[in-house]
Structures are given as structure tokens and as C-alpha cells.
Amino acid sequence: MAHAKTSYVCLPCRASYKQAYDRNRERVCPQCAQTLVHVGSAFAAPRRRDVEAWRTLSVLLHAGVRFHKSCCGGPGYRPRTLHEVRERMAYARRTGRPFAEALVLRDLP
């Protein structure tokens, strides 16, 4: 039986690749040879020319947020714009909540 595929991204190239998951194998970008970031099986890549979406994705990935499927379906809420990211950053600073936790809140209190 074939293993399910999961997504990997190269942030500098703004490229996404579906490959079989293997925790012991490091993936490299075929274009620039940098290490690919494992983002999860529920990831949908933005268009390559959508620079703002890739910047938002970069913030999410550097904070440790990934796109893994949950028991109820998809990965849950993820901000799509830099404005939403900035709102959640301000909320995290104001309340002392961890940044990664504040990023995945659908509605801010």
C-alpha cells in the first residue's frame, strides 16, 4: 500500500511539493537546493505571484504553525493576510499568550 503524501514548501522559491513523508529524510528544493519545510497534508499553496500570501505563510511557519489534518477535517483556522497576522501579534503581546497560539485563533476576544 502506498503511503499518503504530504506537502513541503520552499519559501525562497515560493514552491510547494507533494511527497511521501519520511521523518529521517531531509528534502531539498530541486530549484535552489535549500531544505524544504514540512507543512502538512492539509496545506493548499498560494499562487507563486501572491507575495503577501507567501509572506504570511512564512510568518506562520517560522512560528511553528503547520497544516496537519485533525480528527474533524482540516487544519483549523489560519490567517490569510498580513493584517490578520498583525492583529494576532498585537493580541499576543497584549495578553502574553504564545505567538503560535494566538495565530490560530479564529476570533480575537
Q: Is 104 helix (H, G, I), strand (E, B) or coil?
A: coil
Average pLDDT over residues 40-50: 92
* Structural domain includes residue 56: yes
* Structural domain includes residue 71: yes
Q: Is 9 helix (H, G, I), strand (E, B) or coil?
A: strand
Range of the domain at 54: 5-103
pLDDT reading at 91 higher than 90: yes
* Structural domain includes residue 109: no
Average pLDDT over residues 55-63: 94
State pTM to two decimals: 0.86
Average pLDDT over residues 94-109: 91
pLDDT reading at 1 higher than 50: no
* Structural domain includes residue 68: yes
Q: Which secondary-structure segment (H or E) carries 103? A: helix 99-103
More confident residue, 70 or 56: 56
* Structural domain includes residue 44: yes
Place of cell 517560522: 62
